[in-house]
Amino acid sequence: MDQGRTTAEPPHRAAHEMWLDPGPALPRRTWQRRTRVPVIVTTSIAMIVFAVIVGVAVIAGLLTTPVFTAKGGVVADCSTEVAAVPGGGTLARGAPVVLYDAAGGQVATTTLSVFLRADDGCRLTFEVSGVEYTDAGYVVTVGDADDRFSESISTAALQQGAVLRPLG
């Protein structure tokens, strides 16, 4: 006999099985037959309504592009209230500001409108709302055809108020 065996059952006994004793048939469950069709119809209608709601939500999400307010300023001379641009030109209040997306499409236009004096210097500022959000960033062009400069700016910087520094 094997001394390492630790089973509680003798080896000649089979595992205990649970079976119903033979007897009369169980009573019919008529409620299942009565409710089968209404349950199937109700479930099908609920699935269709859910699919329509999901479809509308997906389409609305695809068609709705988030927008934000782009803010920024051009570093300017505090005494003259103008900014020098490369090539010898200057920028003053009313100078056009154009935002382009990474693909080169024009996104928004505004002008330099407010002159701000601060401890860290002076700026001619701009603000434009309704700018379509993109992760690729923007190219901001300030000035007209003669006196113009451009700078690449991230979306986060435009949301917080980008400071543009023309090298002129």
**Tens digit of pLDDT for each residue in 51-89?**
999 999 999 988 887 889 999 999 888 888 888 887 778
Q: Which amino acid is at 43?
A: T
Residue 118 and residue 160 in one domain: yes
Q: Does some domain include residue 4?
A: no
State which residues form the domain around 121. Answer: 67-164
- Co-location of 33 and 103 in the same domain: no
- Co-location of 113 and 157 in the same domain: yes
Closest CA to 81 of 69, 98, 96, 95: 95
Are residue 74 and residue 134 in the same domain, yes or no? yes
Residue 127 sits in a domain whose CATH number is 2.60.40.10
Inside any domain, residue 6: no
Helix (H, G, I), strand (E, B) or coil at 111: strand
Q: Is 70 exposed, middle or buried (0-12, 13-18, 19+ CB in 10 A)?
A: buried
Higher per-residue confidence, 165 vs 59: 59
Question: What's the structural domain count of the chain?
Answer: 2
Does residue 15 belong to any structural domain of this protein? Answer: no
Same domain, 73 and 121: yes
Q: Could you tell me if 98 and 140 are in contact, meaning their C-beta atoms sit under 8 angstroms apart?
A: yes
The predicted structure's pLDDT at residue 13: 60
Structure tokens at 69: 């307010």
pLDDT-derived band at 7 (thresholds 50, 70, 90) equals low
pLDDT digits (tens, 9 = 90+) for 140-153: 999 887 778 888 99
Q: Is residue 146 in a domain?
A: yes
